[in-house]
Amino acid sequence: MAKKKKRNATSSNAPGRPDSSGKRAREKRRTPSNVKAGGVKEGRYGGKKDVAKESIENGSIVSGGGGVAFVGLPPWKVAALGAVALTYLTLFVLWLANVLNHPILGIGAVEWFGRQPAPVAARGNMTWVLAPRLGNQAVKYRLDRPLSTTPFTILKTRSQSKDGSRVLEISYRSDSEKVYGILGVPAGDGPFPALVVCHPSDKPYTTGLHTEDTVKWLAENGILSVAPDYRGWGRSEGKRGNEVRDVLNALESLKRDERVDPKRLGLVGYSMGGGIALRASILDPSLKVTVLYYPQMFGSLEEFREIVAGIDPGRASNGVKNLAVEASKRRADKAEVEYIIRMISPIYHTEVVPGLVAVFHGENDNIVSIKQSRALVQERTRRKLPVEFHSYPMLGHAFANSIENPSREDFKAVLDRAFGLSG
């Protein structure tokens, strides 16, 4: 018994002579009783505390206390991994916001990396998604909802020519609204090249010389065409402001018409309809030709600079004129306004317009400045894209209203080249 007692005394009272029992005691002191197997220490009130120190020996990544400790990695690698993760998270949030059309990042539009989205009035009925870019590079667009694909409903025959071509009254669905118009059908079985005719703002619409005479003339020359009254115009249902979608929906209906060659499609627009045709052409990559008669677009930087300089402000387009007045009220920086014009004017986004663009304008036009058309042509020319410019020295605005349209032969030559009719 005395020998056993002496051994116990040595193990507990002789710190300079540790045995296996003393080693276990020290390990017990190093590892508190409230540390669990996972390396996470339970706090006094049930909370958790990071115990990365206790787990360094095994080289593991320790989680706890709301953080992650990357053991064995140098700080620069940890920072690099964090930067990559943050980049992917940011891109995902932007993509998700775009899909959901989230208002926080722009009403109906997302433009990456800090640029401002285009104003609602300028976007029309589409979502503008501006990809990361340097300078004035390509702009990507997409529609904010699917287009309609309903066929045309024939209501009655409006007229028939001696060659057998006809002009029909039709309707079709543009989204949920019924849109009325006229359809010019050439004689024969087809398939024919086809155009959507975009009317101007003057009355009457489908029965005006811009539309019915043009549709009839196109049919007599072997081209099928449809001239819709946009929503809120003529007899068409709905409210105005969806003209671009109405034109795009008409194109979709043409593509599904068995009389139409879907590989030979185009647009022609007059005045206000020219601006509508140009915006619609940005959104349909299948077009072979876009013909613009004295197109009323938002305007050009040259117009704005002339207003600022006090040179001939009366000939500027209404859009640029109003923006210049608003800028003077707010004392906006000229560079800011020029940036806005570049963003919302289709003149500066023609790099995505497919096929040939042909522009017709009278040099004496006091309604829509010919400078708009020249700016458009210059932009296409600068980018080495197919473009034609036909100017008429003695003519003013709306010269195509005349039955004896002096540009008809030029117009026909453009269509012959675009659709391969002459061959």
pLDDT on residue 199:
85
Cis status of the peptide bond prior to 204, with omega within 30 of 0: yes
416 pLDDT above the threshold of 90: yes
148 pLDDT above the threshold of 50: yes
CATH superfamily of 153-297+345-419: Alpha/Beta hydrolase fold, catalytic domain (3.40.50.1820)
For range 62-91, the mean pLDDT: 71
417 pLDDT above the threshold of 70: yes
User: Which of the pair, 418 or 67, is modelled with greater confidence?
Assistant: 418
For range 393-417, the mean pLDDT: 84
State pLDDT tens for residues 339-396.
444 444 566 667 778 899 999 999 988 888 888 889 889 889 998 999 999 999 988 8
**Weakest-pLDDT range from 83-92, 170-179, 319-328, 384-393:** 319-328
User: Which of the pair, 127 or 413, is modelled with greater confidence?
Assistant: 413
User: Which of the pair, 118 or 145, is modelled with greater confidence?
Assistant: 145
168: its two tokens: 């029909």
107 pLDDT above the threshold of 60: no
Percentage with pLDDT > 70 across the chain? 55
pLDDT on residue 335:
53
**Weakest-pLDDT range from 119-123, 191-195, 268-272, 322-326:** 119-123
For range 287-316, the mean pLDDT: 60
For range 9-31, the mean pLDDT: 49
| d(C-alpha 303, C-alpha 307), whole Å | 6
Domain boundaries, given as residue ranges, for the chain: 75-143, 153-297+345-419
191 pLDDT above the threshold of 50: yes
pLDDT on residue 8:
46
pLDDT on residue 44:
44
User: Which of the pair, 161 or 41, is modelled with greater confidence?
Assistant: 161
Mean residue pLDDT of the chain comes to 70
User: Which of the pair, 304 or 219, is modelled with greater confidence?
Assistant: 219
234 pLDDT above the threshold of 60: yes
User: Which of the pair, 6 or 232, is modelled with greater confidence?
Assistant: 232
pLDDT on residue 95:
65
For range 230-238, the mean pLDDT: 84
Which of 74-78, 237-241, 279-283, 415-419 is predicted most confidently?
415-419
Band of pLDDT at residue 12, cut at 50, 70 and 90: very low
For range 82-111, the mean pLDDT: 60
pLDDT on residue 284:
87
216 pLDDT above the threshold of 60: yes
Band of pLDDT at residue 166, cut at 50, 70 and 90: very high
For range 15-39, the mean pLDDT: 49
